[in-house]
Chains A and B, each alone.
Chain A
């Protein structure tokens, strides 16, 4: 397979704080860099390394996930790949047409209609007018905005903008697709449609670089992963291993903060963190498989940095297509929990689980006592439910109540 993009010891330095540069110094800087390439006259104090010495390559049809905390350099990598910015040192080589979903609808102009914006955005992404002509119907059909295509984009809802933006970016048949956390917006059905589209593009040889904080999505889509921290590549390998490396560091960091919180009371701003969410069958589950007709238990492991008299807990069970199947909330059930500083676990039993066969995960959140603010949250791993219905085909529904049939 051919290499479509390569990072060779790439570093990127950003300047912090400086918002204006005097015009004479700009000109002299431009002249100086002409004769002394790479010379930088900026003071070292205001500079930060967004990326340091990162190397990797992406082959045709490969999918690479970038994982890591905020500020790790994930978006910087996408911007370098998209040629939006240049590396301070090292080499970035990319061949093939790029389509960057760094921000959907970034090229849309509010006063123009959807139709005009499709052409504008398509040409910004590198298509000829005739090429947009050819794909126009497909783009509109994908976005499901036939009715609104001649309406100015300023009257669109944000979800509609996202739909049109994704449709344009996906329909230009890029060789490399860069996706940055954009599937979080829009409704679940459209997110699923986008994911299916990405999957089919991968099958047709498009390469993908994917950034998301949703590690489940990352695992589902990408085969390899790069874990970044503070601009440095910490781990490059399979997605699973990269995520594990990331999570190990997260746990270590959490333990360190807990330690700090113990020593200096009240200095930590975070109240609580969810360290893990587990779903297991009450009768003991085998390798993550649960039975729909048996009870299941969701365990929320937490680390509290400060004691709290009352917290509220919410648990959602989400199906793999993004549908939230059910919710359990302490405030609705009239239950109150207080937490002491340190680690602990809160569990909720769903008896019986009643979900039909399929893939799910649980989302757990801590909220303040009045339910008005989310304090912390995390998701469980995927779990499978087995049941009598085969799987969630369109006619099999969402849940399976306890049924009793009789005839009067």
Chain B
């Protein structure tokens, strides 16, 4: 018996469903903001609020050496991509479970649900980046616009990592609801294991190779390099890219393996 359709056929199916992908993403966004007064402003307010707290603690109480960069900008630049990561992955993990009635009643490419969940968070990232641009201009950092061309590449690497991890979590969460709380716990630890509140230079040199196994570390550092320090990203970004692609391949493979059981389990 054939348990899965070919990867090319399923990719074609996904391409044919782009209209559904947009419609479903729009549904998530509309449903999220419809009954709130602040609406899309939450996409800025949330990271801004956590940055306000971080700035208070780490530039007034505990001094973190950022090498001359204002702490507000230093941390906001990391919090924005981190928020995308830390909100998209749990949203993706929940996406199938929350729409189980749909999965059990109608056939459509199942990837639509987690990918839409991610796209909706990508919009938040875009909105939050607006404030980032304002801050960069306001503080006048020594960055060159040429280097900004790296941003789409770094974002692509981050998106691949989020996608891979999210697809994996979404598929596994259907079978075992421990995945969701486990993920929340992991993200808490992960926050401190990534250079958000501190620069990588504070990590002891002998631990750095291990530290950089976390793709988010090199991704955040790369954003800082091109946007704040005016330098190209260092070689660890390539390692992140490799890890991210491997995670994406495994995640998508696992998702496709398990997707035919979704409707039976629910």
Total interface residues in chain B, CB < 8 Å: 34
In the complex, which residues of chain A have a beta carbon less than 8 angstroms from the beta carbon of B3? 33, 37-38, 86
Please judge, given known A-B contacts A85-B263, A86-B3, A106-B106, whether A30 and B23 are in contact too, CB under 8 Å.
Answer: no
**B residues adjacent to A (C-beta < 8 A):** 1-3, 17, 19-20, 22-24, 27, 30-31, 34-35, 101-108, 172, 175-179, 254, 257-258, 260, 263-264
Please judge, given known A-B contacts A37-B3, A123-B23, whether A84 and B254 are in contact too, CB under 8 Å.
Answer: no
Is A407 part of the binding interface, using a Cβ–Cβ cutoff of 8 Å? Answer: no
Closest to B168 in A: A27
In the complex, which residues of chain B have a beta carbon less than 8 angstroms from the beta carbon of A107? 102, 105-106
In the complex, which residues of chain A have a beta carbon less than 8 angstroms from the beta carbon of B172? 23, 26
Q: Which of A20, A88, A106 contacts B176 (CB 8 A)?
A: A20
Would A116 and B1 count as touching, CB distance under 8 A?
no
Is A344 part of the binding interface, using a Cβ–Cβ cutoff of 8 Å? Answer: no
In the complex, which residues of chain A have a beta carbon less than 8 angstroms from the beta carbon of B177? 20
Would B107 and A83 count as touching, CB distance under 8 A?
yes
Closest to A108 in B: B102
Q: Which of B1, B2, B31 contacts A109 (CB 8 A)?
A: B31
In whole angstroms, how far apart are the Cα atoms of A22 and B179 in the complex?
10
Q: Which chain A residues in 297-335 approach chain B with CB under 8 Å?
A: none
Please judge, given known A-B contacts A20-B177, A89-B1, A100-B107, whether A111 and B102 are in contact too, CB under 8 Å.
Answer: no
Is A126 part of the binding interface, using a Cβ–Cβ cutoff of 8 Å? Answer: yes
Would B176 and A124 count as touching, CB distance under 8 A?
no
In whole angstroms, how far apart are the Cα atoms of A21 and B176 in the complex?
6
Task: Classify chain A's interface size.
Answer: 35 or more
Q: Which of B24, B105, B175 contacts A120 (CB 8 A)?
A: B24
Please judge, given known A-B contacts A37-B1, A85-B264, A86-B3, whether A102 and B105 are in contact too, CB under 8 Å.
Answer: yes
Please judge, given known A-B contacts A38-B1, A85-B263, whether A112 and B107 are in contact too, CB under 8 Å.
Answer: no
Would A85 and B260 count as touching, CB distance under 8 A?
yes
Q: How far is the CB of B244 from chain A (nearest CB, A)?
A: 20
Closest to B104 in A: A84
Residue with the greatest number of chain A CB neighbours at <10 A, chosen from B20, B103, B105, B176: B105
In whole angstroms, how far apart are the Cα atoms of A26 and B171 in the complex?
10
Please judge, given known A-B contacts A21-B175, A23-B172, A107-B102, whether A116 and B107 are in contact too, CB under 8 Å.
Answer: no
In whole angstroms, how far apart are the Cα atoms of A218 and B167 in the complex?
43
In whole angstroms, how far apart are the Cα atoms of A123 and B258 in the complex?
24
